[in-house]
Structures are given as structure tokens and as C-alpha cells.
């Protein structure tokens, strides 16, 4: 077995995903009882000891973030679960919330108790209506057990309405506040000045689910998987030309080759049967050649060596017949459609990238595209504009990926 089941419930789990029985079966009820008897400091030191890092893409040490919110001056504090999963090729949070919605919500309650927040928001993309319903059911279960409510933590679900950028943490705050979801300038960081200018802890669904399983067990249990630098397991969303696309939980450090080919993971290359390339990390990710894939593993250091990043955990696989320039054109359109329009490099840059690529610019004007891409990467306000050119730049750097098709 290459896959692990920790964040995702065991295959033998029988209880319904939103039921009180599930809360018990997964150890979450016990975890809540335990945590609510602990002090904020003790909870946070256990988080720090576990080595959890943010799973939304930035891999910021979770303990450090919680501690920052805990220490930030302010009467009112908020916890936000970011379930606005809209990164292209990313669907891990959807599957996690479908299969075990209580986990991430228990993580929200633990976080709120730890940092001293009385109010929490779960922001979910508007296209995940069925998942939202399931989340609401799970919340009702927690309410019925007395864990959610005005005297504990008030948890509200907020539905997005079709805006990738609203997944950027400060844009998400603006969206909740009823403003245009345009990212804010940082610093100040959300831990100091987040939602309604109050200290705010915002975490990805998967990070919160990690917190829940950590407290349902203990630090030692938590640390049995992963590498020295990156502890634990990661959800990867494999799509495209593999025999078994889907979301899999794997230990950090697993080789990309195993992720693609293991019989209980990707199951091998589909399509032509020959691997052409991988786009790792979503639309904002990096194209890797078969040679780079062969020598890399799911770890920040290993991927850093080939200029890539785990990002959200999207693994998009292309066989050797796919026209990657065509794929890059679609990625460019995605960013042009999803740019908020606030800053010049992203607003106009994403538009010009589309126009240049559609007019054979990768072939005829690589230098202009490169300089434009670097300006977007360096000078955009937020992660959208900064990462929008990365896949393109990675394709420019790998001419061998442009030969077929």
C-alpha cells in the first residue's frame, strides 16, 4: 500500500460522514473534549511540535501562525476556513469535505478555542453547492452536540460566487466584508489585521483536517509519516492521463513516479501510455519533463531543485500527444478571466499574455513574453499575478516540451 488514510477516513469506515457516530468513530468527539480542557498555549505548542505546515500552497508553519494570532492584541478574533478551492486541477478539499466534513470543522473549533476566537467563517466556492450542503449538515451535528453555538464558537458558512481570486486570503476577507474581492497589500498580515481589521487565523481545509486528526491521536502518531523537513501526509489531486484520477493521501517524500504509477494511486499513464509532462501545483504551477519527474519526490526541497512547488497538491498529467502550448493558452485565459483587475501587471499583463500566445508568441517573441512574465511575477500585488506566468516561464525554459504536437 502506498496510500495512507488519515485525513481521509479508513476504507472500513461505516458511519455516515456527517453523523454523531462519525464524530466518535474518527476520535473527533474525544479530541474536542480534550482540547476544550486545554489552554491556548498548550494547544499551540502541540501544533508546533507536530510540525504541521499550511496545506493551501504556501506551507507556512501552522504553529507559528496560530501563535501570532494568539498573541495579537485585540478583543475580537476570527477563524476562517478557506474552502474556496478554485485552483485549476485542484479538487482535494472537495473530496475531503465530501468524505469527512467533520474533520475540517473540528479543526475550525480547535483553532477558535486555541486563539480565542468566538466567531468563525467557512468560505466555500459557489460551485460546490452539494459539498456546502454536506458541510451544513456536519455543522448541524456539531451544533446538536453543543460544540457550535453562541456560547462556544459561532460558525457561519459563506458561499462564494465564482471568483478564483476570492481564495486569496485577504481577497476572501473583503468578500466576507461585502466588498470587491480584491487582495489587500501585505503587511499588515491577517494574523494581525485580517477580517474587519481584527487578528484572523485563516487556514486551508486540509490544514484544519490535519489539526483534527492530530488531536484525535497524538504528536508521535502524527509524525510517523513524512520526511524530516516535511512531516505528515499530503492530499494530491491527480488528473489527466492517468488510469485512476482522484484524490490520494500520500506521505511527504513519495516519488512522483510512484504517485503516477502505483496500483493504488495513479495506476499508470493513460492516453498514449507514454508520459509527456506534468503540471504540478495547478494553473500557477510548473511544467516538469519526464526526466525531472523521474528524479523528484513530493517534498519541498526535492521539487525546489527542479524549480517546482507542491502548491495545492494538483498533479496534472499529460501524455506525449498533448499540445502543451494549447494547454498553456488555456491557462493564460484562466488567469485573464480570473484577474481582479486591481494592479497593472496582472490586469493588463494576463490579457497581453493571452494575445501573445494566441499569436504564436512562444515561438516568435519569447523574450517579450519572458520580460512580461517576470514583471508580473515581481510586481503584482498578490499571488495570482505573481504566479500567473510561472507555467508559461517553465514552458519557455523547457523547449523539449514544445517539440511534439
Partner 1 sequence: MENSVTLAIDGQSITVAEGTTLRAACDVAHHTVPTLCWHENLTPANACRACVVEVKGSRTLVASCSRIAENGMEVQTGSERVMNARKVVAELLLSTSDSNLAPDLIALAQNSGAQADRFAGGATWAQPALEDNNLYVRDLSKCILCYRCVEACGDDAQNTFAIAVAGRGFNAHIDAGFGRDLPESDCVYCGNCVAVCPTGALIGKKEWDLRQTGQWDESQITQTETICSFCGVGCELNLHVMDNQIIKVTSPMDHPVTHGMLCVKGRYGYEFAQSEEQS
Partner 2 sequence: MDSENGTVSDAVKVLLHDIPRERGQLLPALWRVVEQYREITPELIGAVSESLNIPYAEVYGVASFYSLFDNPGGKMPVYVCTDVMCMLQGSENLKHAAESAAENGPVTIRESACLGQCDYAPAAWSGARVLRRATPEEIVSVVKEAGQ
Residues engaged in binding partner 2 (CB under 8 A): 85-91, 94-95, 125-130, 133, 158-164, 175-181, 196, 237-241, 245-247, 279, 283, 316, 318, 322, 327, 330-331, 334, 337-338, 340
Residue 355 interacts, among partner 2, partner 1, none and using kind-specific CB cut-offs from 5 to 8 Å, with partner 1
Rounded to whole angstroms, the Cα distance separating 304 from 301 reads 5
3-state secondary structure the chain: CCCCCCCCCCCCCCCCCCCHHHHHHCCHHHHHHHHHCCCHHHHHHHHHHHCCECCCCCCCEHHHHHHHHHHCCCCCCEEEEEECCCCCCCCHHHHHHHHCHHHHHHHHHHHHHHHCCCEEEEEECCCCHHHHHHHHHHHHHHHHCCCECCCCEEEEEEECCCCHHHHCHHHHHHHHCCCCCCCCCCCCCCCCCCHHHCCEEEEEHHHHHHHHHHHHCCHHHHCCCECCCCECEEEEEEEECECCCEEEEEECCCEHHHHHHCCCCCCCECCCCCEEEEEECCCCCEEECHHHHHCCECCHHHHHCCCCCCCCCEEEEEECCCCHHHHHHHHHHHHHHHCCCCCHHHHHHHHHHHHHHHCCHHHHCHHHHHHHHHHHHHHCCCHHHHHCCHHHHHHHCCHHHHCCC
Q: How far is the CB of 159 from partner 2 (least distance, A)?
A: 6
Residue 101 interacts, among partner 2, partner 1, none and using kind-specific CB cut-offs from 5 to 8 Å, with none
Q: Decide whether 118 or 223 has the Cβ nearer to partner 2.
A: 118
Residue 291 interacts, among partner 2, partner 1, none and using kind-specific CB cut-offs from 5 to 8 Å, with none
Letter string b/e over residues 340-364, b meaning 16 or more CB atoms within 10 A of that residue's CB: bebbebbeebbbbbbebbeeebbee
Q: How far is the CB of 126 from partner 1 (least distance, A)?
A: 15
The site that binds partner 1 (CB under 8 A) totals a number of residues, namely 35
Q: Decide whether 70 or 128 has the Cβ nearer to partner 2.
A: 128
| Contact residues for 43 (Cβ-Cβ < 8 A; gap 6+) | 35, 66, 110, 113, 114
Q: How far is the CB of 210 from partner 1 (least distance, A)?
A: 25
- Binding pattern for the stretch 371-390 against partner 1, x by CB under 8 A and - elsewhere: xx-xxxxxxxx----x----
Q: How far is the CB of 52 from partner 1 (least distance, A)?
A: 22
Residue 378 interacts, among partner 1, partner 2, none and using kind-specific CB cut-offs from 5 to 8 Å, with partner 1
Residue 377 interacts, among partner 1, partner 2, none and using kind-specific CB cut-offs from 5 to 8 Å, with partner 1
Q: How far is the CB of 372 from partner 1 (least distance, A)?
A: 6
- Binding pattern for the stretch 139-178 against partner 1, x by CB under 8 A and - elsewhere: ------------------------x-x-------------
Q: Decide whether 214 or 376 has the Cβ nearer to partner 1.
A: 376
Q: Decide whether 244 or 257 has the Cβ nearer to partner 2.
A: 244
Q: Decide whether 161 or 294 has the Cβ nearer to partner 1.
A: 161
Q: How far is the CB of 245 from partner 2 (least distance, A)?
A: 4
Rounded to whole angstroms, the Cα distance separating 367 from 307 reads 20
Residue 400 interacts, among partner 2, partner 1, none and using kind-specific CB cut-offs from 5 to 8 Å, with none
Residue 125 interacts, among partner 2, partner 1, none and using kind-specific CB cut-offs from 5 to 8 Å, with partner 2
- Binding pattern for the stretch 326-365 against partner 1, x by CB under 8 A and - elsewhere: ----------xxxxxxxxxx-xxxxxx--xx---------
Residue 371 interacts, among partner 2, partner 1, none and using kind-specific CB cut-offs from 5 to 8 Å, with partner 1
Binding site for partner 1 (CB under 8 A): 163, 165, 180, 185, 187, 336-345, 347-352, 355-356, 368, 371-372, 374-381, 386
Amino acid at each position: 500500500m502506498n496510500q495512507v488514510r488519515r485525513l481521509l477516513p479508513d476504507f472500513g469506515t461505516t458511519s455516515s460522514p456527517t453523523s454523531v457516530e462519525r464524530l466518535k468513530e474518527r476520535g473527533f468527539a474525544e479530541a474536542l473534549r480534550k482540547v476544550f480542557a486545554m489552554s491556548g498555549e498548550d494547544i499551540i505548542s502541540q501544533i508546533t511540535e507536530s510540525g504541521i505546515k499550511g496545506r493551501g500552497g504556501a506551507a507556512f508553519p501552522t504553529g507559528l501562525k496560530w501563535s501570532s494570532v494568539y498573541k495579537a492584541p485585540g478583543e475580537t478574533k476570527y477563524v476562517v476556513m478557506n474552502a474556496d478551492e478554485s485552483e485549476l486541477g485542484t479538487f482535494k478539499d472537495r473530496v475531503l469535505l465530501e468524505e469527512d466534513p467533520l474533520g475540517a470543522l473540528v479543526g475550525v473549533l480547535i483553532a477558535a478555542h486555541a486563539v480565542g476566537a468566538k466567531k468563525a467563517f467557512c468560505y466555500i466556492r459557489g460551485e460546490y453547492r452539494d459539498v456546502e450542503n454536506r458541510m451544513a449538515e456536519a455543522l448541524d451535528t456539531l451544533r446538536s452536540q453543543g460544540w457550535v453555538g453562541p456560547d462556544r464558537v459561532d460558525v457561519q458558512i459563506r458561499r462564494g460566487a465564482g471568483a478564483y481570486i476570492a481564495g486569496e486570503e485577504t481577497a476572501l476577507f473583503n468578500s466576507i466584508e461585502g466588498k470587491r474581492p480584491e487582495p489587500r497589500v501585505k503587511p499588515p498580515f491577517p494574523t494581525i489585521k485580517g477580517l474587519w481589521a481584527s487578528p484572523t487565523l485563516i487556514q486551508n481545509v486540509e490544514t484544519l483536517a490535519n489539526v483534527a486528526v492530530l488531536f484525535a491521536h497524538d504528536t508521535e502518531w502524527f509524525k510517523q509519516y513524512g520526511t524530516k523537513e516535511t512531516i505528515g501526509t499530503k492530499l494530491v489531486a491527480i488528473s489527466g492521463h492517468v488510469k485512476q484520477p482522484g484524490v490520494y493521501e500520500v506521505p511527504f517524500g513519495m516519488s512522483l513516479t510512484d504517485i503516477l504509477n502505483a496500483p493504488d494511486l495513479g495506476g499508470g499513464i493513460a492516453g498514449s501510455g507514454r508520459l509527456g509532462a506534468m503540471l504540478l501545483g495547478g494553473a500557477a504551477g510548473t511544467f516538469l519533463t519526464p526526466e525531472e519527474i523521474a528524479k523528484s519526490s513530493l517534498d519541498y526541497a526535492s521539487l525546489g531543485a527542479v524549480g517546482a512547488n507542491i502548491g495545492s497538491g494538483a498533479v496534472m498529467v499529460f501524455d506525449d500527444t498533448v499540445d502543451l502550448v494549447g494547454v498553456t493558452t488555456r491557462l493564460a485565459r484562466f488567469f485573464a478571466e480570473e484577474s481582479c483587475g486591481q494592479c497593472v501587471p496582472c490586469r493588463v499583463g494576463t490579457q497581453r499574455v493571452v494575445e501573445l500566445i494566441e499569436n504564436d508568441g512562444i515561438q516568435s517573441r519569447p523574450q517579450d513574453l519572458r520580460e512580461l512574465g517576470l514583471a508580473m511575477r515581481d510586481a503584482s500585488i498578490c499571488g495570482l499575478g505573481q504566479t500567473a506566468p510561472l507555467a508559461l516561464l517553465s514552458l519557455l525554459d523547457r523547449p523539449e516540451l514544445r517539440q511534439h504536437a
